[in-house]
Amino acid sequence: MAQPQKSFDAYFKSAFTVDNVIFGFDNGQLKILLIRRNEAPFDNYWGLPGYFVREGEDLDAAAQRVLREVTGLKDVYLEQVKAFGTPGRHDFGRVITIAYYSLVKVEDFELHAAGVAQEVAWHSVSDIESLAFDHEEIVQVAFHRLKRSIRSRPIGFELLPPAFTLTDLQHLYEAIWELDLEKRNFRKKILSMNLLKDLGRSQKGVAHRPAKLYSFDEGRYRELEEDGFNFELKEGKRK
């Protein structure tokens, strides 16, 4: 006996969005790019740069398009983090979002709010609260991914300026791990990796004793990025 044909209508009643978690580092703080929304739901709330995926559009392409259209950022490397699909997360119905994250140099981009964004700005990760939808959860998942990744991958090439001090690099690690690290231990560990180039010059125009300036050895950086390593430090005081 022939089996009755199944109806798949019930499986095609979901919408998809993409949300981008963009981390930057500025003035010793780990920051995240947020937009202030101009449409319901969560009109006038801060949230992640995100919007709906168009019919027939690739997810990765949608993430790049949405980021460009609402913030002005383009040609940003984006990595998928996780799908978030808890029923009720969106007022319009069943909406599943695919979260992406990236690390960028704040000074490399000029922000332009458009589309669903009435405003776009960098916010300190430590000050984020009351975001639209479940965006606080998405930020925390991406933040934990970042915390884990720096134990096995180098960090800083995408976040620090071309010339930086060892203190700048330590502050970056401290901001991500939310710890105060022991200075001598950190420097010994980071220098042993042969990851940095001494530029042979020091800071200028500072009130304190000028510190040496370094840059990343890009070849060595990409090698460690590919092969991985174990970057473990004795934990300092929790911030």
Q: How high is the pLDDT of residue 82?
A: 96
How far is Cα 1 from Cα 147, in angstroms, rounded to an integer? 58
The structure tokens listed for 25 are: 């580092």
Task: Find, among 51, 129, 37, 41, the residue nearest to 88 by Cα.
Answer: 41
When pLDDT is averaged across residues 211-222 and rounded to a whole number, the result is 92
Report the catalytic residues. Answer: 119
Which amino acid, 96?
A: I
Residue-wise pLDDT for 183-204, tens only, equals: 999 999 999 989 999 999 998 8
Residues 178, 184, 185: CA angle, nearest 5 degrees: 65
Residue-wise pLDDT for 79-132, tens only, equals: 999 999 999 999 989 999 999 999 999 999 999 999 999 999 999 999 998 999
Residue-wise pLDDT for 134-172, tens only, equals: 999 999 999 999 999 988 888 888 999 999 999 999 999
State the burial class of residue 132 (Cβ atoms within 10 Å of its Cβ: 0-12, 13-18, 19+): buried
Q: How high is the pLDDT of residue 4?
A: 57
Residue-wise pLDDT for 65-88, tens only, equals: 999 999 999 999 999 999 999 999
Q: Report whether pLDDT(239) > 80.
A: no
Q: Report whether pLDDT(133) > 60.
A: yes
Domains of the chain: 13-149 (3.90.79.10), 166-238 (1.10.10.10)
Residue-wise pLDDT for 24-78, tens only, equals: 999 889 999 999 999 999 999 999 999 999 999 999 999 999 999 999 999 999 9
